[in-house]
């Protein structure tokens, strides 16, 4: 981790120190921050950060501050911050709402979000900084998390904080480049699994149900090759009831079971036309895509594509379509 200590800060005139901090934060947090010191006599300052393949870790020890992010209309690609500080802080959001966060309380912010943060005491903060594509792929309906107080139980909050701290220690040891993808994936998976603990999100709210449906569909797309994949299996993995999984698909064009079947059929059809799979039997392909009966697979494939799997494999693309 590259760090900047307080030497330049201490030598600067008090009127220059806010600009120095703003530049440091902008560099470490990949955004455009300005800073105003609340105590000009406090010289505590250390800012460090590292970014690898769209995943960054940033840590800072800072004096009492009021900091502001005023992103221009055209700015860099959005990034998300999973952010924690060890002092009480006040967040002033774009809609005029003010959040008071307790020490060690996690929140999620985005780099394109105008926000003002006030921390009246010297503090230390750690953030995981993740590119938009990575975050939004892992966290469907990410908008339900951004700019709000995350009310997780203490044990969930502790695990997430420990994962952030581990990322910082790994970076400090010079190993972040090797570990960053695994760290981010593990953190986002746990964050995703933790959302149903947040009592501030009603379990039957449209946002929560849409989030859960997209979460289930993403899980299906990643695990369709497992023969045991079912509504009950998915519910256990996500830590919710099977009834809640079904409820998330109420009014949707397909049930969870139909989504599983559709995903398996599409994956099989794609492999039947892929030259790299030409030496593998149809039965083996269907088994690798999650079917456990060749007869059942053939019947379902014929219903979906209007021909037997063997015909589909041999037919010209235009005819099969």
Question: Which run of H or E residues covers position 107?
Answer: strand 107-110
Say yes or no: 238 and 129 in one domain: no
**Where does a domain end: 149, 167, 197?**
197
pLDDT tens per residue, range 77-112: 889 999 999 999 999 998 888 999 999 999 999 998
Angle subtended at Cα 165 by Cα 159 and Cα 169, rounded to the nearest 5 degrees:
140
Q: Per-residue pLDDT for 285 more than 90?
A: yes
Euclidean distance between CA atoms 192 and 314, whole angstroms: 42
Residues 148 and 229 occupy one common structural domain: no
List, in order, residues 6 or more apart from 273 with CB less than 8 Å away: 312, 313, 317, 320
Please say whether the beta carbons of 132 and 184 come within 8 A. no
The predicted pLDDT at position 2 comes to 56
pLDDT of 320 > 50? The answer is no
Helix/strand/coil for 111 = coil
Is the same domain home to 188 and 245?
A: no
**Distance from first CA to last CA of the chain, Å, rounded?**
53
Instruction: Tell which of 174, 197, 220 closes a domain.
Output: 197
Statement: residue 40 has pLDDT above 80: no
Is the same domain home to 124 and 270? no
Residue 40 CA to residue 146 CA, distance in Å, equals 32
Nearest Cα neighbor of 83 from 139, 164, 157 is: 164
The label of the residue with tokens 């960053």 reads: 180
Residue 316 CB partners (closer than 8 Å, separation 6+): none
Give the C-alpha separation, 321 to 239, whole Å: 40
pLDDT at residue 29 is higher than 90: no
Total-model pTM: 0.67
Say yes or no: 144 and 259 in one domain.
no
222 and 161 share one domain: no
Q: Are residues 157 and 231 in the same domain?
A: no
Q: Among 87, 86, 144, which Cα is nearest to 110's?
A: 144
Let me know whether 187 and 56 are in one domain: yes
Supply the range of the domain harboring residue 148.
2-197
Poorest-pLDDT segment among 216-230, 283-297, 307-321: 307-321
Residue 36: strand pairing partners? 66
Query: Distance (Å, rounded) from C-alpha 15 to C-alpha 142?
Result: 39
Does residue 181 share a domain with residue 260?
no
């Amino acid at each position: 981790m590259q760090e900047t200590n307080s030497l330049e800060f201490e030598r600067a005139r008090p009127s220059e120190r806010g600009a120095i901090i703003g530049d440091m934060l902008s560099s470490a947090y990949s955004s455009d921050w300005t800073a105003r010191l609340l105590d000009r006599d406090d010289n505590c300052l250390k800012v460090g950060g590292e970014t690898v393949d769209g995943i960054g870790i940033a840590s800072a020890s800072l004096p009492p501050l009021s900091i502001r992010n005023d992103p221009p209309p055209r700015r860099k690609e959005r990034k998300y911050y999973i952010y924690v500080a060890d002092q009480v802080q006040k967040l002033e959001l774009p809609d005029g709402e003010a959040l008071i966060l307790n020490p060690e309380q996690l929140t999620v912010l985005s780099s394109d979000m105008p926000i003002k943060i006030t921390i009246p005491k010297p503090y230390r903060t750690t953030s995981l900084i993740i590119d938009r594509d990575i975050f939004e792929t892992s966290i469907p309906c990410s908008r339900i998390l951004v700019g709000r107080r995350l009310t997780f139980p203490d044990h969930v909050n502790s695990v997430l904080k420990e994962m952030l701290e581990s990322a910082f220690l790994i970076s400090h040891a010079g190993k972040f480049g090797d570990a960053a993808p695994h760290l981010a994936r593990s953190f986002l998976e746990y964050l995703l699994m933790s959302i149903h603990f947040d009592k501030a999100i009603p379990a039957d709210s449209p946002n929560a149900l849409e989030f859960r449906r997209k979460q289930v569909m993403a899980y299906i797309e990643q695990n369709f090759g497992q023969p045991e994949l079912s509504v009950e299996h998915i519910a256990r993995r996500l830590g919710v009831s099977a009834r809640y999984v079904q409820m998330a698909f109420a009014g949707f064009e397909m049930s969870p079971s139909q989504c599983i079947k559709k995903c398996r059929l599409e994956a099989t059809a794609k492999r039947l036309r892929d030259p790299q799979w030409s030496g593998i039997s149809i039965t083996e392909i269907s088994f690798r895509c999650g079917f456990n009966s060749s007869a059942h697979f053939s019947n379902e494939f014929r219903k979906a594509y209007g021909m037997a799997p063997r015909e589909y494999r041999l037919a010209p693309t235009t005819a099969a379509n």
